[in-house]
Structure 1
Amino acid sequence: MAHVYASPRVLPLLVLGFASGLPLALTSGTLQAWATVDNVSLQNIGFLTLIGTAYTLKFFWAPLVDRYAPPLLGRRRGWIFLTQLLLAASIASMGLFSPGNNLGLMAALAVLVAFLSATQDIAFDAYSTDVLRKEERAAGAAIKVLGYRLAMIVSGGLALILADQWLGWGNMYFLMGGFMAICAVATTLAPEPEVVTRPPRTLALAVVEPLLEFFKRRGALTILLLIILYKLGDAFAGALSTTFLLRGAGFSVSEVGTINKVFGLAATIVGALAGGSIMARLGLYRSLMLFGLLQATSNFGYWVLAVTPPHLYSMALVVAVENLCGGLGTAAFVALLMALCKQEFSATQFALLSALSAVGRTYLAGPLTPPLVESMGWSGFFVVTVLIALPGLILLYLRKSEIDGLDGKP
């Protein structure tokens, strides 16, 4: 299994996954930390999570990515390269302002970054779906998750340390923009898919055909509901996790950044690479169930932090377990989304499916977490996040036959 990670189709997904994951923390957790330090109110911090709306609505413009192609690098890589250049400039622009003094302008820039990032994701997800052979799907999903979560460590953990002790918040955002520009260079070196399908003949067909094909499948609606629910508990637990560690548990900005960087990074690497190997042995359904149970129960770690005095070793353990379990769950989830897509419509179908997965994080977890925390406290809230994860696992069990079919099982 290890040799598949060195495949010329799998290995580039590490850098492209990094580019995909870099903007999210910069418009969510890291921006949340900056707003917390600048004494922005908890309610306003909660509503900053609505910046992620672009990730939920991206299927609306995904047909444009399927139908049209930039003049360079092909239909998939051309869009990836273009959005990466625009992201580099937009992320750097966020460093010119601060949430304490220019909250509205910062939010607007963050919305632009989220829009460009969502567009990059449309093209990248379609590219990875098209370029991977079937036997490379598990490893490709794991490498994508590894790159994505490495970027989350850099832009969510390392960024806090750099902002707090070295560069300041503005210069740190300049640096992150530079990282994105470097990723654009790597995009030019990635291979084209072995089979290049023709784009839809018209924009109307690009909109209609992917939806018709998907909704003709047995159990289509319940599969869509499963995608919304599968990581919902994880989304609630993570919605204000940075604010919890800073304001609720009493850790410093540098402590949070250091633990996320060191222990989060180690757990991410182990989780992503192990996820690909485990999926190859267990199959898609059993991996989804096992990893879903693990990512749900890992939320109890935050409850422990909420009811015990702050100690770095306990935060390190919780962050490591959360990154490990979350990485395993995400790897299996990405493999599920790729398996559900037809290559002819991979941009639009993957965008629809992945956008649905963001519904819980954007429209439920973000707005509802602050009132839940204020009404029941941090400890009670984290217990509830475990219960929130259960409906998704129940629905997964009920859809076992459809998911086994994606693995080619009877």
Structure 2
Amino acid sequence: MPTEPVLPTTEAVPGRRWRVLSIGLLGFASGLPLALSLSTLQAWFTTAGMSLKTIGWITLISQAYVFKFLWAPLLDRLPLPFLGRRRGWILLMQLLCGAALISMSFYTPQGAATTIAFLGVLLAFASATQDIAYDAHRTDLLPPAERGWGTAFSQGGYRLGMLVSGALALILADHLGWAWVYRLMGALMLGSMLVTVSSPDAPGERPTRSFAEAVVQPFADFFTRYGKVALAWLALMVLYKLSDAFALSLSTTFLLRVPQFSLTQLGAINKTFGLIAGLLGALAGGWVVTRMRLFPALLALGVAQALVNLGYIWLVHSGPDIYALATVVGLENFFSGLGSTAFVVLVTGLCNMRFSATQYALLSSLSAVGRVFLGPLSAWLVPQVGWSTFFVITVLSAIPGLLLVIVLRHAIHRVELAQPH
């Protein structure tokens, strides 16, 4: 197995530490809006008594995460006139996210579901665009020797942001109501702009020279560099996290209606314990990818993150048992965090720094397909087969992605050893 890479000595350690830490802090801002347009919004609609069909369809408001690669070239081509090539876009999108969240707080699902959905679409668009700029910023900023720990801090910050907008939001909703939850989250999103202003820029940032270069060359470069395996890489982006996304597509509604946990229990145990376990998993993933080849890491962690979905069958029969909940979601989030860190290291290695915004957006968009589009399918499938069989199906859905990892094992090894493009 490879030894841990030696970090460059050309820069002082404090500067290197701030570079990695800033990536983690920006990861927090990137992760904060996601739950507010997905699981937390799902909880809001569930407690408002909306139908399972409506809740399934409301998951589609996050389609921006799937199609963000369509406007990613604009971020490569058109830097804003402040804060450099990436941070200007991050700052603007944080402002839009905060405004959308505060606006959502003035409506209710019973009286204005369509308006909330529209604002949710705006929130998802701004959040997805922030992700484009942030992912590109991280890809540009971190040298290869720092990608393992930088990715771990990124994943850790991202999950911490989801902890606040998931766990804390649900607990506060039980005591303050949903309106104040969304106002507080909006204020926190606006406060994250201070981090963006004080974070470092990547060295040698250069926008693409023409619109054709921004739109055409990122895709041409990807298919030229990877040739026959390019389509296989794109398929892997969709399939690797599919089992995870399938199980989680209606998990909040499941936990509220089947074991019948309260919002406070869901926030304190499912979200808090689960996301802390995910944070530990992400940090452990940083350690794993510095000491283990990427192929066996992706394969082993892919198997593990699929099998833990079987734990949800326990919750079908357990009732509101908080110990069962803590065990299931702790294991699920820990192995998901491990798998996500290895997966992000792979995605980062596949990108050309000249087109990092567009190429990373394309790859991460494909990985979001399951998370966004499986909601309506799950809402149709559950009444047909029941919750227990549904979770078995989610485990089986991991098989195509795992087989593809095996097929691409040599290509994964080459990406792992390649120098930045």
Counterpart Cα distance in 1 of 2:276 and 2:71:
36
Query: Residue 206 of structure 1 corresponds to which residue in structure 2?
Result: 214
Query: Residue 180 of structure 2 corresponds to which residue in structure 1?
Result: 171
Structure 1 length as normaliser, TM-score? 0.96
Query: Residue 36 of structure 2 corresponds to which residue in structure 1?
Result: 26
Contact 1:307 1:379 in 2 (8 A): no
Structure 2 length as normaliser, TM-score? 0.94
2:398 is equivalent to residue 396 of structure 1: no
Counterpart Cα distance in 1 of 2:356 and 2:163:
28
Query: Residue 358 of structure 1 corresponds to which residue in structure 2?
Result: 368
In structure 2, give the amino acid aligned to 1:226: L
2:273 is equivalent to residue 263 of structure 1: yes
Which deviations, in whole Å up to 9, do the C-alpha atoms of 1:367-388 show, x marking residues without a partner?
Answer: 2101111111111101110000
In structure 2, give the amino acid aligned to 1:151: G
Identity of matched residues, %? 51
SS at match of 1:299: helix
Query: Residue 416 of structure 2 corresponds to which residue in structure 1?
Result: 407
Query: Residue 149 of structure 1 corresponds to which residue in structure 2?
Result: 159
Contact 2:270 2:325 in 1 (8 A): no
Counterpart Cα distance in 1 of 2:41 and 2:276:
24
2:96 is equivalent to residue 100 of structure 1: no
Counterpart Cα distance in 2 of 1:201 and 1:263:
47
Query: Residue 196 of structure 2 corresponds to which residue in structure 1?
Result: 187
Counterpart Cα distance in 1 of 2:279 and 2:38:
22
Counterpart Cα distance in 2 of 1:265 and 1:237:
16
2:103 is equivalent to residue 86 of structure 1: no
SS at match of 1:330: helix
| Unmatched tracts of structure 1, length 5 or more | none
2:132 is equivalent to residue 129 of structure 1: no
Contact 2:66 2:372 in 1 (8 A): yes
Counterpart Cα distance in 2 of 1:116 and 1:310:
36
Structure 1 segment 9-408 matched on structure 2, within 5 A: 9-165=19-175, 167-196=176-205, 198-216=206-224, 217-218=226-227, 219-363=229-373, 365-408=374-417
How far the C-alpha of 1:269 sits from its partner, in A, is 2.8
Counterpart Cα distance in 2 of 1:384 and 1:265:
24
Counterpart Cα distance in 1 of 2:204 and 2:336:
33
Which deviations, in whole Å up to 9, do the C-alpha atoms of 1:255-280 show, x marking residues without a partner?
Answer: 11110344124312321111100110
Counterpart Cα distance in 1 of 2:100 and 2:259:
33
Counterpart Cα distance in 1 of 2:204 and 2:290:
24
CA RMSD, aligned part only? 1.6
In structure 1, give the amino acid aligned to 2:167: G
In structure 2, give the amino acid aligned to 1:404: H
Contact 1:153 1:260 in 2 (8 A): no
SS at match of 1:7: helix
Number of residue pairs aligned between Structure 1 and Structure 2: 406
Counterpart Cα distance in 2 of 1:22 and 1:310:
27
Counterpart Cα distance in 1 of 2:349 and 2:356:
10
Contact 1:150 1:268 in 2 (8 A): no
| Unmatched tracts of structure 2, length 5 or more | 8-12
Q: Which moved more, 1:110-119 or 1:317-326?
A: 317-326
Counterpart Cα distance in 2 of 1:112 and 1:286:
39
Counterpart Cα distance in 2 of 1:206 and 1:261:
39
Counterpart Cα distance in 2 of 1:146 and 1:405:
27
Contact 1:122 1:347 in 2 (8 A): yes
Q: Which moved more, 1:103-112 or 1:256-265?
A: 256-265
Query: Residue 10 of structure 2 corresponds to which residue in structure 1?
Result: none
